[in-house]
Amino acid sequence: MVPSGRKWINKSTNEEVIGTTFKFVGLYDLESDCVKAWESFQGVTEAHSAPPQAQAVQPAINEAEKAAASQFLRLIVDANRNDHAALANALASMSPINKYFTISSPEVVALLGA
C-alpha cells in the first residue's frame, strides 16, 4: 500500500488520516512468474504445489428430454432454413433445445443439408 494523496479528518478521533491505495509493480503472463517475483520481494521461498488441472465437466444428458427437444428441431430448422443467424438465435433462445442443440450440432447440420 502506498499513500494516495488523500487526507481527511476522522470525525470520531479528530485525527488526520492519510489514505492509501494499491501500487501495481508488475504484470505477469504466468502465475508462476508472479509467485517468483513475490517470493523474491519478500525474501522467502515457499514450496508451491502445482494447481490441479481443470477438467472439462460434461453436463448430464437427459436422453428423454433431448429426444423431446429433437422433435421440434426439424420445425425450427425448416422455419429458419434461409437465415442461419435467425436459426442460431432461435435455437439459443429455446429451452431445453439450447441445452442439446446449436447451429453447429450434427443434427442441425444434417437437417440443413437435407
Per-residue pLDDT of the chain (114 residues; tens, 9 = 90+): 899 999 999 999 999 999 999 888 888 888 888 888 888 888 877 666 555 665 566 667 888 899 999 999 999 999 999 999 999 999 999 988 999 999 999 999 999 987
Residues 53 and 79: their CA atoms lie apart, in Å, by 43
For helices 63-79 and 106-113, the axis angle rounded to 10 degrees is: 30
Cell reading at 109: 447440420
Burial 53-91 (b: 16+ CB within 10 A, else e): eeeeeeeeeeeeeeeebeeebeebbeebeeeeeebeebb
Q: What is the reported pLDDT for 36?
A: 86
User: What 3-state class would DSSP assign to 6?
Assistant: strand
In the chain, what are the domain boundaries?
2-42, 63-113
Q: What is the reported pLDDT for 89?
A: 93
The sign of the dihedral angle between the CA atoms of 59, 62, 67, 71 is negative
**Beta strands 16-21 and 2-9, pairing class:** antiparallel
Q: What is the pTM of this model?
A: 0.46
Q: What is the reported pLDDT for 27?
A: 86
Give helix then strand counts, H and E, for the chain. 5, 2
